[in-house]
Amino acid sequence: MSNFVLAADPIRPWATLLSSSNQFNLRLANDSSFILDGSASGLPATIELHGSNFGNRGANLLSGAAQVNVVQYTVGGQVVMRTDNALITGSDLAAWLMGSGSAFERAVFSGNDFIALSNAAELQNAYGGNDFMHGRGGNDTLLGAGGNDTLYGGEGNDRLEGGDGNDVVWGGAGTDSANGNAGVDTFLTGALRRQVDFGGANPGDMVGPEGQDFLIGFERVAFADGVVHVDPTGTAGQVWRLYGAAFGRGAETTGLTNWVVALDAGALTLTDAARGFLNSAEFAGRYGLPDDAGFVTRLYANVLGRGPDAAGLEAWTSQLAGGVSRAEVLIGFSESAEYRAATAASTSRLWTVDPEAMDVLRAYMTVLDRVPDGGGLASWTAARNGGLANAEMMDAFINSAEFQSRFGALSNEDFVARMYTVALDRPADLEGHAEWTSRLDGGAMGRRDVVQGFAYSDEMTQKLLPLVTDGIAFT
């Protein structure tokens, strides 16, 4: 067995030594290894491989670099590559992976890998680690396995499978077939919800600006302005059932969104949420302060549509008397097998709006008195998700020619009066008008502060509800 070690060149970078322009060639016999030692002084942390004929003989090992550890060999006529924590990119990568020119047959990715393909490559079995695979152009096949993988098909008609783990899959342009497989998986699209026909005759078909996609095995479908929750057992389904059990009604979009965001972020547990429902003004306004028997009776009515049987009432009230909290009992009803089955259809396609997209809609409706155009909604939402502060976005709206032509020359008193008519569609009440004007005149607030106060008022939120049902409205 022969071993070759390439150390840092004191005169020229090692990458230059290996570049195709220098015609660096190394032939290895079977069972030989070629080691690029990235731990040696002066070597970079990333090794990039280019060319269509690398690694066709023997087992070629590249190790020691921070981001590359690759073995490519042949077993039973199949080309096999193994890599740990790889970062592999370049326009020639597909040819390198595909070897003889046929589809790359099998790969084992056991680390956290970044793979960027081109020219209709096929990449299979990314075992372990959290991998990123980018198909780019062509009709690609990207098959993940273990780990939380991200697959992006790019252009072309692609086949994408996440495998085990919580995967994110984006088909891109073209007609794509995608399967999330096991785990909590999300399919992405850059389109707005109302631009896409999703869940028609075939619930897994999606047709929109990026083409047609065929989906199975996904718990969530994420659009540019929000998420459709397909799995009734997920957090959106749990929250929706809390609404039904506690209030006897379905969830409105904004409320559902707020609870789901908090639960998904780990800021609240389901028990915390249940406690919040029971301590709400709505619960007190509906039912007052019922005793344990009255509380259980109300849950039977909301969840099962009937009064309690004697044995059931006794069992639940005994648990409460023994120290079980009302929040836990509420969850016992909301997550019961009977209620899950009864609400399965209602919770299989729940919509939550993207909070940043909601900010954009508030800005349009408060400042410009209109729904956004599709391009504006998408671009401002992307900017907010990319780190643009809400205050910066609001300043841009306020400083726009459209806003300044209607509000710029007004006195503080007239500015407040017009905010009421534009944002809330009603005349100002005397108390509110005086309060806002006083704050402006005294310097306690600027006009942006007043605009944001209107934009995030309960009254504005209620006005927006019809505009955010199953996607944000746009022109």
| Alpha-carbon distances, residue 280 vs 28, 245, 352, 427 (angstroms) | 73, 14, 21, 30
> How, if at all, do strands 176-179 and 159-161 pair?
parallel
Residues contacting 314, CB < 8 A, separation 6+: none
Cα–Cα distance measured from residue 301 to residue 308, given in angstroms and rounded to the nearest whole number = 8
Let me know if residue 182 belongs to a domain: yes
The model's pLDDT over 197-208, given as tens digits with 9 standing for 90+, comes to 987 656 678 999
**CATH code, domain with 403:** 1.10.3130
For the chain, list residues with pLDDT below 70: 1-131, 136, 145, 200-203
Task: Judge if 148 and 268 occupy the same domain.
Answer: no
Q: Give me the residues paired with residue 3 across strands.
A: 33
Nearest to 192 by CA among 392, 384, 475, 396: 475
The whole model's pTM is what? 0.75
User: 159-161 and 141-144: which strand pairing?
Assistant: parallel
Q: Which residue among 316, 351, 386 closes a domain?
A: 351
Query: Helix or strand or coil: residue 358?
Result: helix
Q: Nearest-5° angle of CA 259, CA 263, CA 269?
A: 110
> Quick one: pLDDT at residue 143?
77
Distance from C-alpha of 52 to C-alpha of 29, rounded to nearest angstrom: 19
278 within 8 A of 330, measured Cβ to Cβ = yes
Same domain, 327 and 380: no
Structure tokens at 205: 């078909």
Q: Residue 292: name the closest of 323, 274, 316 by CA.
A: 316
Tell me the C-alpha distance between 244 and 249, whole Å: 5
Helix axes 270-278, 235-247, angle to 10 degrees: 20
Question: Is residue 229 a part of any domain in this protein?
Answer: no
- Determine the structural domain holding residue 45 and report its residue range: 3-223
Tell me if 395 is assigned to some domain: yes
Helices in 265-400 by DSSP H: which ranges? 270-278, 281-287, 292-299, 310-321, 326-334, 337-342, 355-363, 374-385, 390-398
Are both 362 and 339 inside the same structural domain? no
pLDDT of the residue at 147: 77
**What distance in Å separates the CA atoms of residue 245 and residue 299, rounded to the nearest whole number?**
6
Domain assignment of residue 94, yes or no: yes
Do the domain assignments include residue 228? no
Contact between 358 and 238 under an 8 Å Cβ cutoff? The reply is: no
Q: Are 280 and 366 part of one and the same domain?
A: no
Domain count, the chain: 3
* Dist CA 72 CA 34 (whole Å): 11
Residues 109 and 160 in one domain: yes
- Residue from 320, 365, 372 nearest 460 by CA: 365
**Residues comprising the chain, all counted:** 475
- Residue-wise pLDDT tens digits, 3-38: 333 333 333 233 333 333 333 344 433 333 333 443
CB proximity list for 90: less than 8 A, separation 6 or greater: 48, 49, 50, 116
Domain final residue pick, 321, 351, 381: 351
Residues 19 and 94 in one domain: yes
Q: Report which of 265, 228, 208 is spatially closest to residue 353, judged by C-alpha positions.
A: 228
Residue pLDDT, tens place only, 231-242: 999 999 999 999
In a domain, 282, yes or no: yes
Please check whether residues 61 and 208 belong to one and the same domain: yes
Q: How many Å apart are CA 206 and CA 178, to the nearest integer? A: 11
Residues 216, 251, single domain; the answer is: no
